[in-house]
Amino acid sequence: MSPDLAERVLTGDRRATARLITLIENNGPQARRMLAALFPHTGRAHIVGITGAPGTGKSTLVNELAKAYRHGDPAPRVGIIAVDPTSPFSGGALLGDRIRMRDLSGDPGVFIRSMATRGSLGGLARATSDAVKVLDAAGYEIVLVETVGAGQSEVDIAKAAHTTVVVEAPGLGDDVQAIKAGILEIADVFAVNKADRDGVEHTAMALEMMLDLNHASRPTVHHSVLMQVESPAEPADETPVWRPPICKTIATRGEGVPALLEAIKAHRAYLEETQTMALRERTRVEDELHGILGHLLMRRLMARVPPDELAHLVDRVVARELDPYSAAEILLQVQPSLSPGREDS
Amino acid sequence: MSPDLAERVLTGDRRATARLITLIENNGPQARRMLAALFPHTGRAHIVGITGAPGTGKSTLVNELAKAYRHGDPAPRVGIIAVDPTSPFSGGALLGDRIRMRDLSGDPGVFIRSMATRGSLGGLARATSDAVKVLDAAGYEIVLVETVGAGQSEVDIAKAAHTTVVVEAPGLGDDVQAIKAGILEIADVFAVNKADRDGVEHTAMALEMMLDLNHASRPTVHHSVLMQVESPAEPADETPVWRPPICKTIATRGEGVPALLEAIKAHRAYLEETQTMALRERTRVEDELHGILGHLLMRRLMARVPPDELAHLVDRVVARELDPYSAAEILLQVQPSLSPGREDS
């Protein structure tokens, strides 16, 4: 382990950047020290999450977005993190992602990395968040975080972004409506991809209608995981409301991608002008802190519970002699100072 | 709150069952006491998870499966829990599910419930697991747990099942391959639905090939979240290996559903004959205990941290004065007995 790895990341060294992300994936203690050293140099990147259901073609769209950024003047450096939370056990990143992004890999201003979980989803969310910090510190002004899938895990990872693009496509069946209901609250920009397919107008109109309903029915809320409270997310009543634009794209031909890029930039400008960026940063930090605390608390508890005692308790629950909540209370008693609380009765 | 709610659930009372599940969703302390009372009466139901990407038609398939069970002789009572993890904030269950299942609702031997999260995904996983226990105790011999989506969250919820059916459909695009990589490890039975569509043979063959590769390359492992170890899942080397059968179905016409039902029953028989059921139960219990412990630990810590101090720490992280891991360490110091551990350095 080179002592100046963090310094090399700060100079934009690609190999050092890749190596530090590998250390993060392997969850080494050195990685944490490096991250602490890099942290003061973060906060400059625009973090853009791209999420959506399978079959929407979002991987190709991410590819084209990166190219569009690189054609700008000045051209920002672009980091891409492709997250695969659907592979919880195999521990390998997607070969497909790497092949797909081959036409970007010759560009020294683009850094591509696939990440998959080696254990828990929480671990993947933490590792992704840390990898974003590394790219930020390494001078990537744009960091695109792509998540495969459409469930809560993707929502959680997308929440770590400043701007979240939700990708839809025509004709994905009846579940799409259901997904929209949840995804509406994280979408800053919609891309209706595969816009050359039948049903694109229907999909775009359905989104418009849901946006109409959403704006009429409830204000945006700031959901604090740590404080367990909800408070209005808008800094003041007079703050203009952001209505997610709907961009039609055909990623395979690059069509509509420049307009999508403009929409993403407009959202960033909105965040900065209305001071909403500061609120998003708070939410991001709270979510991250929540994940780290949960991880550390569990590790500390497990280090104190004798494995035999744990196995015995699991046996008793399996035998229906003890319910899981009572078993949890017993495990918490192992560390006496954790148990007397009455707050969760 | 009626004191005999748990007793009424045990007699199969539908209203009491529905009411207790609502209490669970609202996370009331009474619910936990009721669950402890019901727990010794659980363990009889066959819990069948049905998961897959949007657009595969799995909701219709769940519907038809329930009908097929009810046409059996003797006909088991069937509980259906439709989980919607994609709606993290809105707190409402899917109206669509209820409408869709209308043709089952006249049958007194079928109980249908939609569940959505009101906060964290962890909360939804706990509530789903508890709702399954209620239906089990209420005498539903079959509990079908349907999850909308295809990400890690669905995988987690599906893991709570004895038998997991993964639904695929032809022509869902390039991401489908990626999803299979992760989902292969949770699938006990595959249903290739919409088998009247083009590409059904291609999808079935791709699955067969992945199964071939999977069996050749690695043994099934038992992944313990609590112990952080992996051990072979098979009780002994001579245990026959279960190869997930691939069933072609056209759910909208009920075609192929009887064969799918037989495959699910065959898997249950396999679990019982090979004593793999006991191993699945252990994994289920460990996962559940892990979730409950994480929740209780966080609540206890947060009850001890003054809100001002928490807000101040978040401010410092937002200002990049302090990195998130250091902030977490400071929060853990608030409770002195939690801090001296060296195990997570």
Nearest CA in chain B to A39: B323
- What pLDDT score was predicted for residue A151? 54
Mean pLDDT (whole number) for A28-40:
88
Say yes or no: B91 contacts chain A, CB-CB below 8 A: no
Confidence band, pLDDT 50/70/90 cuts, at residue A123: confident
Contact map slice: A 198-257 vs B, CB within 8 A:
221, 223, 225-228
- pLDDT 10s digits, B214-263: 655 444 444 455 654 444 444 445 678 899 999 999 999 999 999 999 99
Q: Peptide bond before A306: cis, by omega within 30 degrees of 0?
A: no
Evaluate whether B214 touches B186 at the Cβ level (below 8 Å). Answer: no
> Left (φ > 0), alpha (ψ -120 to 50) or beta: where does A180 sit?
alpha
Say yes or no: B150 contacts chain A, CB-CB below 8 A: yes
Say yes or no: A102 contacts chain B, CB-CB below 8 A: no
pLDDT above 80: residue B174: no
DSSP per residue over A257-290, as a string?
A: HHHHHHHHHHHHHHHHHTTHHHHHHHHHHHHHHH
% pLDDT > 70, chain B: 73
pLDDT above 50: residue B338: no
Confidence band, pLDDT 50/70/90 cuts, at residue B150: very low
Confidence band, pLDDT 50/70/90 cuts, at residue B46: very high
From A121-135, A260-274, B63-77, the region with the lowest mean pLDDT:
A121-135
Confidence band, pLDDT 50/70/90 cuts, at residue B340: very low
Report the topology of domain A42-274. Rossmann fold (3.40.50)
Helices (H), chain A: 5-10, 14-25, 29-38, 58-70, 95-100, 121-137, 152-158, 175-183, 200-217, 257-273, 276-304, 307-318, 324-333
Q: Peptide bond before B74: cis, by omega within 30 degrees of 0?
A: yes
- pLDDT 10s digits, A276-298: 888 888 888 888 898 889 889 99
Strands B229-232 and A163-168: unpaired
Q: Which residues contact B176 (CB under 8 A, 6 or more apart)?
A: A54, A55, B53, B168, B203
Mean pLDDT (whole number) for A71-80:
94
Mean pLDDT (whole number) for A182-187:
70
When the pLDDT of each residue in chain B is averaged and rounded to a whole number, the result is 79
Which one-letter DSSP state was computed for residue B222? Answer: E
Cα(A168)–Cα(A179) distance, rounded to whole angstroms? 10
Contact map slice: A 253-272 vs B, CB within 8 A:
none
Nearest CA in chain B to A317: B285
- What pLDDT score was predicted for residue A148? 64
- What pLDDT score was predicted for residue B220? 45
Most confident option among A155-164, B39-48, B292-301: B39-48
Among B297, B305, B333, most A C-beta atoms within 10 A, so best to mutate, is: B297
pLDDT above 50: residue A55: yes
Closest partner residue to B324 among A90, A288, A313, by Cβ? A288
pLDDT above 90: residue A40: yes
Residue scoring higher pLDDT (B83 or B222): B83
- What pLDDT score was predicted for residue B229? 46
- What pLDDT score was predicted for residue A264? 97
- pLDDT 10s digits, A8-18: 999 999 999 99
- What pLDDT score was predicted for residue A212? 78
Q: A297 and B338 in contact by Cβ < 8 A?
A: yes
- pLDDT 10s digits, A204-249: 888 887 777 765 544 444 445 565 444 444 445 567 889 999 999 9
Q: Which residues on A lie below 8 Å from B281 (Cβ)?
A: 318
- What pLDDT score was predicted for residue A88? 40
Q: Which residues contact A265 (CB under 8 A, 6 or more apart)?
A: none
- What pLDDT score was predicted for residue B275? 84
Closest CA–CA distance from residue B238 to any residue of chain A (Å)? 24
Please tell me whether the interface predicted TM-score (ipTM) of this complex is above 0.85.
no
- What pLDDT score was predicted for residue A339? 44
Closest CA–CA distance from residue A78 to any residue of chain B (Å)? 22
Query: What are the residue ranges spanned by the domains of chain A?
Result: 1-40, 42-274
Confidence band, pLDDT 50/70/90 cuts, at residue B88: very low
Cα(A137)–Cα(A247) distance, rounded to whole angstroms? 31
pLDDT above 80: residue A93: no
- pLDDT 10s digits, B130-145: 999 999 999 999 999 9
Say yes or no: B123 contacts chain A, CB-CB below 8 A: no
Give, for A224, the enclosing helix (H) or strand (E). Answer: strand A221-224
Q: Which residues on B lie below 8 Å from A89 (Cβ)?
A: 182, 185, 221, 223
- What pLDDT score was predicted for residue B245? 95
Mean pLDDT (whole number) for A50-57:
78
- What pLDDT score was predicted for residue A118? 55
Confidence band, pLDDT 50/70/90 cuts, at residue B3: low
DSSP per residue over B9-73, as a string?
A: HHTT-HHHHHHHHHHHHTT-HHHHHHHHHHGGG-S-SEEEEEEE-TTS-HHHHHHHHHHHHHTSS
% pLDDT > 70, chain A: 73
Closest CA–CA distance from residue A116 to any residue of chain B (Å)? 10
At the fourth CATH level, which superfamily is domain B5-294? Answer: P-loop containing nucleotide triphosphate hydrolases (3.40.50.300)
pLDDT above 70: residue B299: yes
Contact map slice: B 32-61 vs A, CB within 8 A:
32, 35-36, 39-40, 42-43, 53-57, 59
- What pLDDT score was predicted for residue B87? 45
From A279-293, A329-343, B107-121, B202-216, the region with the lowest mean pLDDT:
A329-343
- What pLDDT score was predicted for residue B162? 92
A149 in helix, strand or coil?
strand
Mean pLDDT (whole number) for B62-70:
95
Confidence band, pLDDT 50/70/90 cuts, at residue B124: confident
